[in-house]
Structure 1
């Protein structure tokens, strides 16, 4: 068995794996391509530079995304990354001239404005397109920024709930039993918040909010005797709300007693001491924060879900980022101060008090909004709204800095959206894009004449519902004699 596994591994590395790699290297010599680079740490604590390559395969008529390689690096800095990347290109005879763009995160090593890896690559590929950093990474970081004014209150709760159930199968079993008695769908807290993917706080918020009654009933058993007496009436009201009969109440009491009797480590006791107050003593605070997390992070999550898809969406980047920024700003800024501004003006805008919505109108999510209208003078409301405003402003400043709202490259790439054909701006942006890729276009063709003709060409068939951007441009690629330069540029 061991020998067969070794043989299979050998075949993958030196057989199929080598064949796939050689095929990819061969295609990179023919077709323009883009790279996606990310530095990470392997299971044996080695630093690895992982590379994906993306290119349009003219024969297959589709965009391919393939694993190009994983290179071990001793020291993570721009110079060492440049060295291993150059050696890799030279070893496999990959032409720099075909490299169109590089997608990386925005750390100083990768995209530093003076000595970052991307800047260094311009000496090998002067016409490298600036597509900015990974916008999904920016949005995850924005979600992290949002949590700072709240002192990661919910994130700590998510982690405590996860760890508290991770090594306690009997507690998970009781949790699901209580959910069944309350007639609520049970979800395991083991799939909760992931610190390096901060938008997972949205999923954890949704799951925790749905399970709040179940958690409260379960952790009631861990309260002190005095607290149990204090919260006995709210517990009974919860039973009434969820139509728990006497048999169900009796069973829950047995479960709570069994959990309270079980042995716990000192760490487990400390977790209970942190979780119980957030579910009972500070329930209003917890619910208010869950409300704003579910409401606001949903806007950010929607953007990330779109651009984590496998289809080609580079033509949507500019418009979607602008749409996201406006939707976010409208949560706390008066609409008249943002709707008439250009992308550049939005990025340079300085927020002033007169531009902000009054506290009673700031978006806080559905549940918190109901609480605000019913309890306008509640003692917890003022500090909560102050934290919300601070969180909004913190993210706004971050997004203004990180999102390339006025990027000429992304604006030009939006012309690839075939739905814009027939508008003068499509021709203007295509002309700008052609100026960024002169080395990959046929030298003997007049691309501007092609662009003018393409914008009003009535012979190009109308696009079908559900067609991808690649399929739509296939109709143009079928006219190589009519649009040679335009086709070459779009394939890039």
Structure 2
């Protein structure tokens, strides 16, 4: 009798581990796979083929056999499950802490204007400053008044006080940074202490653009011609790679000068300087092929006598 009483007393202090519900295992697997697809930019339509494949690969796994995740459910799990939970968690942090506001508007594939609202805050759990997407809202137009109403309405909906905003940043368009009717002017009326910062990359790009405008116009054409000359012919590229091997130059391709990618000009120039010896040797060899490159030999001789080596390659590329 004593031993039975002792056993009963011990059992009160020992908690038995409950077996996890099989449904919870299936739901967890579906959540993890949906998050994986979103993290790696996989279209949800691939779920139609991925999960039947998993069932064939793991016939002995009960979890794989019970998963019923397809593109409609995957989209629902991401948008109304994972995304909603993360947005709710970020909103709770912004309700209790100071944060910075970063916004930018764009047009999606359905030709609807959308506004991305990003917040920057100190994450006490990770002990570092974190940038997170708070939400994406659709706006009627790109005017400052419409954008401000959309952001203010979003913050009010999530119970985030405007006074918690300590810093605001955006691109340098007048709708955002106009001193009278811009977004930042409307924000300062509600939060006078907010610090406004223009986009540094945009400012640097404008400075670089104005500086390049003072240079001869043929230099810009020269940068574009270098890439175009090799991009149109696999034979030319192969011949250039052989010269790179001979002089032990890194096998890097010529970069394209893009007007829409800020500060791309510096990378293009650095690549040309890196490959300068190989480029010079390549066009010196090509000058003898006057049939393939009309007047290449004459152009090379004429320009070399004037010590305009950069113009040599530019004119040869234009042939």
Separation (CA, whole Å) in 2 of partners of 1:203 and 1:31: 40
Quote how far apart the aligned CAs of 1:32 are.
0.8
Give per-residue Cα distances to partners, 1:405-450, cap 9 Å, x unaligned: xxxxxxxxxxxxxxxxxxxxxxxxxxxxxxxxxxxxxxxxxxxxxx
d(CA) in 2 for partners of 1:166 and 1:230? Answer: 22
2:220 aligned residue (138, 155, 159): 155
Cα shift readout 1:17-46 (whole Å, capped 9, x = no counterpart): 111111001111111111111233435544
In 2 relative to 1, CA 198–127 (structure 1 residues): closer, same or farther, beyond 3 Å? closer
Q: 2-side partners of 1:117 and 1:98: how far apart? A: 17
1:146 is aligned, of 176, 199, 211, to 211
Distance (whole Å) between structure 2 residues aligned to residue 71 and residue 65 of structure 1: 18
User: Which residue of the partner structure matches residue 176 of structure 1?
Assistant: 241
Q: Residue in 2 aligned with 1:228?
A: 297
Q: Could you tell me how far 1:103 is from its partner in structure 2?
A: 0.9
Q: TM-score scaled to structure 2, two decimals?
A: 0.65
Segments of structure 1 that go 5 or more residues without pairing to the other structure are: 236-275, 284-492
Counterpart of 1:101?
167
8 A contact 2:170–2:176 mirrored in 1: yes
- Contact 2:103-2:115 within 8 A present in 1 as well: yes
**Structure 1 pair 117/226, CA: closer, same or farther in 2 (3 Å)?**
closer
Matched residue SS, 2:248 = coil
Q: What is the CA-CA distance between 1:152 and the residue it aligns to?
A: 4.8
Partner of 1:185: 250
- Identify which of 66, 82, 91 aligns with 1:25: 91
Q: Which runs of 5+ in 2 are unaligned?
A: 1-45, 49-69, 305-309
Root-mean-square deviation over aligned CA pairs: 3.2
Q: 3-state DSSP class of the match of 1:65?
A: strand
CA distance in 2, matches of 1:163, 1:44: 33
Distance 1:45 1:210, change over 3 A: farther
1:430-477 deviation line (CA, Å, top 9, x unaligned): xxxxxxxxxxxxxxxxxxxxxxxxxxxxxxxxxxxxxxxxxxxxxxxx
Indicate conservation of the 8 Å contact 2:226/2:314, yes or no: no
- Count of aligned residue pairs for this structure pair: 242
TM norm structure 1: 0.44
Among 261, 270, 274, the residue aligned to 1:197: 261
Q: Secondary structure at the match of 1:150?
A: coil
Instruction: Map residues 53-452 of structure 1 onto 2, 5 A cutoff.
Output: 53-129=119-195, 131-189=196-254, 191-219=255-283, 220=286, 224=293, 226-228=295-297, 231=300, 277-279=311-313
Q: CA deviation at 1:281?
A: 6.1
What's 2:53 paired with?
none
In 1, the alpha carbon distance for the partners of 2:111 and 2:82 equals 27
Q: Deviations over 1:214-259 (max 9, x none)?
A: 3344453575554425647999xxxxxxxxxxxxxxxxxxxxxxxx
Contact residue 176 and residue 182 of structure 2 kept, 8 A: yes
Where is the strand percentage greater, Structure 1 or Structure 2? 2
| Pair 226,63 (structure 1): closer, same or farther in 2 beyond 3 Å | closer
Give me the whole-angstrom Cα distance separating, in 2, the residues matched to 1:101 and 1:58: 19
User: Is contact 1:162-1:192 (8 Å) kept?
Assistant: yes
Distance 2:197 2:184 in 1: 10
CA positional deviation for 1:132: 2.8
Partners of 2:121 and 2:78 in 1: how far apart? 24
Q: Which residue of 2 aligns with 1:446?
A: none
Measured after TM superposition, the shift of residue 144 of structure 1 is: 1.0
